[in-house]
Structure 1
Amino acid sequence: MDVKEEDSNMQKLAFIGLGNMGMPMARNLVQAGYYVYGLNRSKAKEDNFEELGGQRAESLAHIAENADVIMTCLPQPEDVEQMLIGDNGLLQMNIKTPLIIDFSTVSPSLHVRIAKEASARGARYLDAPVSGGTAGAESGTLAIMCGGEEVAFEEAKPIFDVLGKNITHTGPVGNGTKVKLINQYMVGMHTVAVGEALHLADQSGIDKSLLYSVLSNGFAQSKIFDRHYGDFISENKDEPGFALDLLLKDLGLADDMADESNVSLKAGDFVRSLFQQADENGYGKKDMSALYQYVKHIEN
């Protein structure tokens, strides 16, 4: 869609962070007919976004002054903090008082801080972490867990409907991320279970494809088992759909959340330490399913 900014009266969106998740999400919004600015640290990604029909953002300040809805999807908490409330961040600029939606996975307390600053500037803020990986981002079938005021959630719902299929308003700002971190805690647990179970199969002479076929029809079936074995391990792929070091980051955030809630995640301590060791041994930039490779490595 070739839409000239000066001729367009349509709602203008901005998407900051055109990575493995952000690019297909922003593309889906363009394909749904939205006018979307794209901003990314790597300018090559902005070139790609233009080729997909998006609009290259002139600058963060241009987004602040022109976008009705601003979305961020960034890898680390410090990236989100710097982009939104840092010294040169969005909320220090002359903003149009938009709706701001963060799809990243950071800490609930950071979302509360950002929401307070956004409110002081007349903006509405939602934390809306997603689950479903790159496949869900590509197909527009993400699960979206959204925290914030209900009126802002309803305002964002048409956008969410383009990006996901399981969309839940979880309550106040920060609650979306609390649900996501519990999700990631369980993803980490299941990932370790898959890695160790497949290694046990290897060492005991059981064919992995046979094991997968049998267990997938019983109580051991899980989406993580389907994903890790079906899409990565059986295909000898470890190019990241979701990198191991990003799951390690999320497990750390879940541990922080547990501390703040006076909860001891005893099994989680072991899981996080195993991911930490895998990261330190060079597996961090591989797909999270590569924990299976690390489990085999430390046994040999």
Structure 2
Amino acid sequence: MSKIGFIGLGIMGRPMAGHLLDAGHDIYTVLHNSPLPSDLKEKGANVVDNPKAVAEQSEIIITMVPDTPDVEKVLFGEDGVIEGLQKDTLVIDMSSIAPMPTQDFARRIKEAGGDYLDAPVSGGEGGAINAALTIMVGGSEAAFERGKPVLDIMGASITHIGENGSGQTCKVANQIVVALTIEAVSEGLLFASKAGADVAKVRESLLGGLAQSKILDVHGERMINRTFDPGFKVKLHQKDLNLALEGARTLDVSLPGTANAQQLLQACAANGGADWDHAGMVRALEMLANHEVGK
């Protein structure tokens, strides 16, 4: 069993750390504004003062924080991971952040004697709770082989995409597809509902045909039942689509659907929905149509 540092015990990180504890690993973490969750405390998680202290105790360090500046602060800020990094420590960043800074973070960790994987995830809160995440990994083959047994505890599908940064590139592509699919499901259900059809039966029928998708299944049900407590927040998907659009400018690529989805998420945020589940994108379209799905 390994000594694992885990930084970031939010909606996703908390169950992920719990699975590692259940598998017998020792977990070292640092707290920010919240106390240690009771379930992790009962399982024996250890709390230390700062990321430097996490690194001093750990053979593997996992970060699961909201954005690129958060990862940089945890790794390289005052009392950051790099100040306590032990030789050959493997750092696995499972946050969803920008690919280019990821490559720089990897270089700096390697220069300090460690190794680095970028391993963002897809699957939302349910995937984290059920250890069924899809994990997209960038890094060397040797680092991937070392990290995979730990990733296997948290995920059901683990793919080595390529070198550092490629895992984050894959995650950005994932978020483009997810956002546009949420928009498509929203528009389809809104059209059917306003036309007077039984939208629950429409969804059931669509799930049996070419339009079927996990988003139609999970988020379509959320839209109909009006359950927008966050599994993945609007504001975080906004952040990911910003990464996509910034990358598109750099690559000279046009992503018109992504830009439109970003504007719908912005409409949600402007109406108090930054912390809604991203399935709440349907609410922006409902405002335009003056009609609520299922009504």
TM bin, normalised by shorter chain, reads: over 0.9
Task: Give the superposed CA RMSD.
Answer: 1.4
**Contact kept in structure 2, 1:144 and 1:168, CA below 8 Å:** yes
Corresponding residue number in structure 2 for 1:104: 95
Q: Paired residue for 2:293?
A: none
Aligned to 1:13, the other structure's residue is in SS state strand
| 1:66 corresponding residue in structure 2 | 57
Q: Report what 1:299 is aligned to.
A: 289
The equivalent position to 1:165 in structure 2, one of 143, 149, 156, is: 156
Q: Could you tell me whether the CA contact under 8 Å between 2:65 and 2:71 is conserved in 1?
A: yes
Name the SS for the 2:246 alignment partner.
Answer: helix
Matches of 1:214 and 1:43, distance apart in 2: 44
Q: Pick the aligned partner of 2:142 from 147, 151, 164.
A: 151
- Residues 14 and 36, structure 1, Cα contact 8 Å, conserved in 2: yes
State whether residues 29 and 54 of structure 2, in contact with CA within 8 Å, keep that contact through their aligned partners in structure 1.
Answer: no
Letter in 2 for 1:71: I
Cα drift, residue 48 of structure 1: 4.5
Q: Is the contact made by 2:136 and 2:160 (CA closer than 8 Å) also made in structure 1?
A: yes
Q: What residue ranges of structure 2 are gaps of 5+ in the alignment?
A: 291-295
The equivalent of 1:242 in structure 2 is: 232
Count of matched residue pairs: 289
Alignment of 1:1-150 (within 5 A): 10-91=1-82, 93-97=83-87, 98-150=89-141
Q: Kindly tell me: are residues 60 and 71 of structure 1, through their superposed partners in 2, closer, same or farther at Cα, counting changes over 3 Å?
A: same
Offset of residue 51 of structure 1: 2.4
Counterpart amino acid of residue 150 in structure 1: E
CA contact (8 A) 2:186 2:220 kept: no
State the AA in 2 paired with 1:284: A
Q: Which runs of 5+ in 1 are unaligned?
A: 1-9
For the 8 Å contact 1:85–1:117, the answer to whether it is kept is no
One-letter amino acid matched to 1:261: L
Aligned counterpart, 2:274: 284
- Counterpart among 186, 192, 211 of residue 220 in structure 1: 211
Aligned identity (percent) is: 36
Give the drift of 1:57.
Answer: 2.6
Map 1:246-265 to 2 at 5 A: 246-265=236-255
Query: Could you tell me how far apart the structure 2 residues matched to 1:192 and 1:82 are?
Result: 34
Shift of 1:298: 2.8
Q: Residues of 1 paired with 2:42 and 2:66: CA distance?
A: 24
Cα deviation for residue 89 of structure 1 reads: 2.3
Could you tell me which amino acid in structure 2 is paired with residue 239 of structure 1?
D
Using the TM superposition, give the Cα deviation of residue 86 of structure 1 relative to its aligned residue in structure 2, in angstroms: 2.6
- Supply the AA of the counterpart residue of 2:194: Q
Structure 2 length-normalised TM = 0.94
Amino acid paired to 1:191: I
User: Any conservation in 2 of the 1:38–1:46 contact (CA below 8 Å)?
Assistant: no
Structure 1 residue 143, shift from structure 2 partner: 0.6
CA distance in 1, matches of 2:39, 2:284: 34
TM-score by length of structure 1 reads 0.92
Letter in 1 for 2:20: L
Relative to structure 1, the CA distance from residue 123 to residue 46 in structure 2 (aligned partners, 3 Å threshold; closer, same or farther) is farther
Residue by residue over 1:14-70, the C-alpha shift from the partner in whole angstroms, topping out at 9 and shown as x without a partner, is: 110000000000000000111111223233235552123322234322212110000
Contact 2:106 2:164 in 1 (8 A): yes
> Pick from 191, 200, 207: which aligns with 1:209?
200
